[in-house]
Every structure is written in C-alpha cells, then in structure tokens.
C-alpha cells in the first residue's frame, strides 16, 4: 500500500445502492472515497458510483470495500485504487479469517478467470500467468482490522458481531493490529450511531505505523473535531453524504 | 523481525517437558532452536532448556513458541531472541484471533506487571512506562500463520482443529499470509507424522516475503531433502531430537 495518510483526514463512504447527491461538488475537500455497503450493492452499481465520482474528481483516490465477492468484478478491481477488506476482530471466525482464506484459495486456484483472461488453462503458461495475475490482484488489497461497535447495525449483522468491545479490548485489538496482524488500517466502526472519542483514544495509544479510522454518526464539525482530537488519523462520513449534503459539508475540516 | 533466513534451513523444536540428549553436540549444524510444547511445559522448564542450549551454543538463535501464557515469564522473554505466536488458520476462532486479542488487551492494560516492574501505577508516568514496556515486549513477537494438518495430534487438539486443509486451501492460507495478514512465517505442521511435499509445494507457489516452515515426521535425510526441494525455507525437526539423536543428525543438511 502506498497512501499518504498525512494528507487524509476526511473520508467519504459512498453506498452504491443509495442515490448520489445531485451536486457532487459537495465532495470538494474530502480526501478519500470508500465505496461499499451491504443491502442492494452489486458490482454494477459499484462501478457506476466509482465512475460518477472519478468523472467529477479525477485525482481523488477511490477504494472499494466489498462485503461479498459478488460486489467485485474485474472492472471494479481495475476502476479503484485499492480494494479494502475488513477483518472483524469482534465478529465470528468467518469474518476474521474464514472468508478470507476462501477468497485467497479461489484467487490461487483460478486467477486468470478472476481477471477475465481467456487464456487456455495449460501447464506452466497458466502457472506463470496465474502468479502474475494473483500479484496484480493482491497488490490492490488492503487489510483493515475492524471493530464493529454498534450491535444493532447491518455491519454487525453481516459479520456476526454479538459483543461490543470495551475500550480496553479496542486497545488490545489495535495493539494486535500494530504488532501482530500488521493490517495497515485499524477501523473503529459505529455504523450509523455516534460512539464518542473513548475507543479512538484507547486505540491511538498503541498505534504508530497503523492508520486509525473512525466511522459512525459524524454529522457536525464538533463531532468531526472531537474524533480527530482523540487521535483518529481520519474520520469516515457516510450517511449524511447521501441524506443531508449540507450537514456533510460541515464535517469536512476547513 | 530481523532474521537472516538465507542461513536457516534446519530448525530444531525442543520440548522443554522432555529430557535433552546427554550430548547436546548433536545440535551442531542446526540453524535455529524453537522451544515449545503443550503437556507439562512451564516457564521454569522452558528457561532450563533455553539455558542449557545457549550454554553449549551461545550464538545459536533461540525462539520460544508458547502454547499458553503461563509458559511465558519476564525471564523467558528476556532469555530468548523471539517469542513466536501461532495463529491457526484451520483452528477455531480462539486460536486465530480470540486469544491473541486477549493477550494484547492484557499487555495494553498492565505492561509494567508483565515486565515485572514495581513502579507505582500513577498517571502519565505509567502511561509512558507502559508504552515503552509494550514496545519492548511486542518487538520480540513473531506471528506465525499455522496450518495444523495432523488431526490426531496435541497441536490440533489444543487449537480446535477439526478439518485438514486440502493443498489448495493451504495455498490459499499461504497467499492470505503473504498478502493480507502479513505474518513473517507460514508454518505447515504435521506434528508427529510425515505429510509429504504436497502442501509445501502448494504453499511455496505464492510465498516470496514469507518464510515457509514445515514440521512433522522428518527423521531421515531423504525426507529432509524432499521437503526442502518442495520449496520449504526450513524444516523443523522435533521428536527424534529427543528420541533418537542419531536419526536426528541425519536430518541436518550436510
């Protein structure tokens, strides 16, 4: 991964299943786009959202955060800068490691299909083609150590989260990310509700190489500032981008 | 981690609960010692084994691979070069992520205890002391992506392994290690039985930065050579070091 986080403090999470604001100029000042969601998301509407945004802001980095493999296609992979894949610490086994090994097993088995090549599957040709294709794909993958803290959310639902971490456990997961799993990003996700600064303060204590993101319920300058002061490298703003562009504008640091 | 793997092809796994050979010179030619086991292992006998070995071979690198936190003490941490911590892909949630977050939560909570400091727990003094202590400890941690392939083994038992991976799944776990979890070591463990070269061949296809270790049932020059030819960076030899030092000698590449 080669991202200059010193220039990224405001991230906009775009749900491709929701309609975009009429005037995309509201994005002026945000530093990164993450496209992803659960209900109704497809590779097609993901691609539409990415295209609309890159048309208005060609130099704005765009990631895709897929919830399921059918959100991903050869075209989506080529359209985005990175594909960010959550590993949910307080989720079930499937959503920290199970699905990931399945994904990489598929990638290892038929990379040429994944990248839409039509090369015949013959011997060393495909072996080499395969490994090239795999490295091409894996170069774009970014692991995100996730803690999903709003139990009554779609994010918690899809990742089997039944327990909210205490700030001490959040700090433990952050420390595990920094010194054991090595994901470049640690993400505190309050998905739809504002969690306040406690988890971010706890996590930031032990993060130096890892980038700390907070998302959830940020709809004002005050909340944005509180989370950044608590130690987040960047805030992630989603809902009000779709629902209330004026409030969204307030969350972008001047 | 700062280990020169180009010089390491033979690893000896020492079970501190078993007695050492009368003549430790049998270790001459092995490149790395990993001390660890399940039944009967304590921090005390771990320390004894480490001391005996470093006395005979002061420059031989020694790691500890603890199965449980009571195998670890401030003294064991200081006695070894690294503490290697397995994350078992085909184990239960606890043994890939659960116990690890618990460990790091403890580390984050009371590092001064973990490192035996007697500093009073007061404010920023401990905060800074704490972070120093944590980094001191975490510097020594090495994550190992593990696949435990012998279901009828203590290793499978303690880590909740109920399914053996196919070579394709082993390749998937290897690829996940290389490009997602970022453990510096990928370990194919046949614990007590010889698994042959298939899994090593499958895994080595997608590993470049990650070191590939194979352990299990190696008790001859032929098996040692077969696994190394299949693409393992190093073989791990355990049982016959304790049971049959002459056979053990045969496993050390000339």
pLDDT per residue as tens digits for the range B228-251: 999 999 999 999 999 999 999 999
Residue B158 to residues A14, B91, B113, B169: CA-CA distances in angstroms?
43, 9, 27, 21
Q: Does residue B83 contact residue B57 with C-beta atoms inside 8 Å?
A: no
Q: Of A145, A141, A46, A218, which Cα lies nearest the Cα of B100?
A: A145
CA atoms within 13 A on the CB side of B55: 8
pLDDT tens string for chain B (254 positions)?
Answer: 578 898 999 999 999 999 999 999 999 999 999 999 988 999 999 999 999 999 999 999 999 998 877 788 888 988 999 999 999 999 999 999 998 898 888 877 765 555 444 333 333 333 454 566 666 677 888 999 999 999 999 899 989 999 999 999 999 999 999 989 989 999 999 999 999 999 999 999 889 999 999 999 999 999 999 999 999 999 999 999 999 999 999 999 87
pTM of this structure: 0.89
Phi, psi of B64 (to 5 degrees): -110, 135
- Determine whether the interchain pair B179/A138 forms a contact, defined as Cβ–Cβ distance below 8 Å: yes
Q: Is A216 annotated as a binding residue?
A: no
- Determine whether the interchain pair A101/B89 forms a contact, defined as Cβ–Cβ distance below 8 Å: yes
Instruction: Quote the CA–CA distance of B51 and A138 in Å, as a whole number.
Output: 43
> Is some CB atom of chain B closer than 8 A to the CB atom of A119?
no
Smallest CA–CA distance, residue B236 to chain A, in Å, is: 22
Query: What is the residue-averaged pLDDT of chain A?
Result: 89
Read off the pLDDT of each residue in A46-68 and give the average, rounded to a whole number: 95
Digit-coded pLDDT (tens) for B73-106: 888 988 999 999 999 999 999 999 998 898 888 8
Within 8 A of B178 by CB-CB distance, chain A residues are 138
Give me the domains of chain A, ranges plus CATH numbers: 5-94+142-251 (3.20.20.390)
> Is some CB atom of chain B closer than 8 A to the CB atom of A69?
no
CA atoms within 13 A on the CB side of A114: 25
Q: What is the pLDDT of residue B132?
A: 62
Give binding residues of B for sn-glycerol 1-phosphate as ranges. Answer: 13, 187-192, 217, 238-239
Instruction: Quote the CA–CA distance of B87 and B93 in Å, as a whole number.
Output: 10
CA atoms within 13 A on the CB side of B28: 5
Cβ-Cβ contacts under 8 Å for B191 (sequence gap 6 or more): B148, B149, B150, B153, B154, B155, B156, B215, B216
- Determine whether the interchain pair A101/B178 forms a contact, defined as Cβ–Cβ distance below 8 Å: no
Smallest CA–CA distance, residue B89 to chain A, in Å, is: 7
Q: What is the pLDDT of residue B102?
A: 87
Q: What is the pLDDT of residue B254?
A: 77
- Determine whether the interchain pair A169/B93 forms a contact, defined as Cβ–Cβ distance below 8 Å: no
Smallest CA–CA distance, residue B210 to chain A, in Å, is: 13
- Determine whether the interchain pair B175/A205 forms a contact, defined as Cβ–Cβ distance below 8 Å: no
Q: Does residue B143 contact residue A181 with C-beta atoms inside 8 Å?
A: yes
Q: What is the pLDDT of residue B55?
A: 96
**Chain B: residue nearest A85 by CA?**
B180
- Determine whether the interchain pair A173/B141 forms a contact, defined as Cβ–Cβ distance below 8 Å: no
Residue that the structure tokens 């793997």 belong to: B5
Smallest CA–CA distance, residue B164 to chain A, in Å, is: 14
Instruction: Quote the CA–CA distance of A138 and B143 in Å, as a whole number.
Output: 20
Q: Is A15 annotated as a binding residue?
A: yes
Out of A97, A106, A180, whose CB is closest to B141?
A: A180
Q: Is A75 annotated as a binding residue?
A: no
Confidence of residue A132 (pLDDT cuts 50, 70, 90): low
Within 8 A of B142 by CB-CB distance, chain A residues are none
- Residue A18 confidence (pLDDT) above 90: yes
Query: How many CB atoms are located within 10 Å of the residue B147 CB?
Result: 25
Q: What is the pLDDT of residue B219?
A: 96
Read off the pLDDT of each residue in A206-210 and give the average, rounded to a whole number: 92
Smallest CA–CA distance, residue B244 to chain A, in Å, is: 36
> Is some CB atom of chain B closer than 8 A to the CB atom of A148?
no
Q: What is the pLDDT of residue A120?
A: 34
- Residue A112 confidence (pLDDT) above 70: no
Digit-coded pLDDT (tens) for A167-202: 999 999 999 999 899 899 999 999 999 999 999 999
Q: What is the pLDDT of residue A169?
A: 96
Within 8 A of A179 by CB-CB distance, chain B residues are 104, 138, 141
């Amino acid at each position: 991964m080669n991202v200059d986080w010193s220039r990224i403090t405001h991230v906009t999470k775009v749900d491709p299943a929701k309609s975009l604001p009429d005037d995309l100029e509201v994005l002026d000042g945000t530093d990164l786009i993450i496209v992803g969601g659960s209900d109704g998301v497809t590779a097609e509407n993901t691609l539409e959202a990415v295209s609309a945004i890159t048309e208005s802001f060609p130099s704005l980095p765009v990631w895709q955060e897929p919830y399921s493999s059918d959100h991903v296609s050869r075209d989506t992979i080529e359209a985005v800068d990175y594909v960010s894949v959550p590993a949910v610490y307080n989720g079930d086994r499937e959503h920290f490691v199970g699905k990931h090994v399945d994904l990489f097993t598929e990638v290892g088995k038929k990379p040429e299909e994944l990248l839409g090549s039509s090369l015949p599957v013959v011997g060393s040709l495909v072996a080499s083609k395969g490994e090239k294709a795999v490295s091409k794909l894996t170069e774009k993958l970014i692991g995100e150590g996730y803690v999903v803290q709003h139990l009554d959310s779609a994010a918690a639902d899809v990742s089997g989260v039944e327990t909210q971490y205490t700030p001490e456990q959040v700090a433990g997961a952050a420390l595990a990310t920094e010194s054991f799993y090595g994901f470049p990003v640690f993400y505190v996700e309050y998905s739809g509700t504002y969690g306040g600064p406690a988890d971010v303060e706890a996590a930031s204590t032990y993060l130096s190489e890892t980038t700390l993101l907070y998302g959830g319920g940020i709809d004002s300058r005050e909340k944005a500032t509180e989370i950044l002061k608590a130690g987040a490298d960047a805030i992630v703003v989603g809902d009000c981008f779709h629902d209330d562009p004026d409030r969204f504008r307030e969350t972008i640091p001047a």
